[in-house]
Amino acid sequence: MTDAGRRAELAASLDRVRERIARACLAAGRPPDAVTLTAVTKTYPASDVLLLAGLGVTDVAENRDQEASAKAAAVHAEGVRPRWHFVGQLQRNKVRSVIGYADVIESVDSVRLAGALGRATVERESPIDVLVQVSLDGDPARGGVSGDDLWRVSDAVASSDGLRLAGVMAVAPRGEDPGAAFARLEVLAGQMAVRYPGASTVSAGMSGDLEAAVRYGATHVRIGTSLLGMRNSLR
């Protein structure tokens, strides 16, 4: 496809997604600008990130360091600087690479990972934003903390100079009404904001369940498929 063709395609899907977010905000009695769209660009090329940025998308997310670091370098070489979110499982040996381009790390779910990030960022001028990933189904295989681990990991992040605890992130469990799961997340997010003033980001909602997430207080929705199209690989 030509660049102009792809641009028109992305502009149309972006309009549809923004419309969905606006409607969901209206239905929830929240102001239309209460929710930030994060475009999940995994498996799609740097050229798509550049087109989306040109269409006004400010935040993009990636889930694999190798792909993300190359893509970020290509985008930055064009003088474009979106806010990069890292949303994938993060191995401790990838921490140094990820903090080289990421502005927000959404998938911190262990004290050990928080510690590795804290050591790697100790000399940064401005702290990096961290969201603690919450498991809404208690299945540790899918990432995220459960129970009091939320507070153990949050304390580890909050006590690191190079990190700023910004809030929570979650993925809706399979096989459950996403609204019920996001309602539980909303309770935890409320407790976090009381415990750590300023930690008010709630990253929840994907292409299939953004309306439920907005209803239960998401401040950021992470949209891949509805914006960019179906991914070839299963991730």
> Under the rule (CB under 6 A), what is the footprint of ligand PLP?
40, 42, 63, 87, 171, 206-208, 222-226
Nearer to ligand PLP, 82 or 224 (CB): 224
At residue 157, the 3 state secondary structure works out as: helix
CB within 8 A of 160, min separation 6: which ones?
Answer: 114, 115, 117, 118, 121, 122
Nearer to ligand PLP, 35 or 162 (CB): 35
CB within 8 A of 163, min separation 6: which ones?
Answer: 114, 117, 118, 121, 127, 128, 130, 157
Nearer to ligand PLP, 164 or 220 (CB): 220
Smallest separation (angstroms) from ligand PLP to the CB of 120: 22
Nearer to ligand PLP, 141 or 194 (CB): 141
Helical H segments across 147-177, by residue range: 149-158
Residue nearest to ligand PLP according to CB distances in the complex:
224
CB within 8 A of 87, min separation 6: which ones?
Answer: 40, 61, 62, 63, 106, 107, 169, 222
Smallest separation (angstroms) from ligand PLP to the CB of 63: 5
Smallest separation (angstroms) from ligand PLP to the CB of 15: 16
DSSP state of 50: H
Smallest separation (angstroms) from ligand PLP to the CB of 90: 12
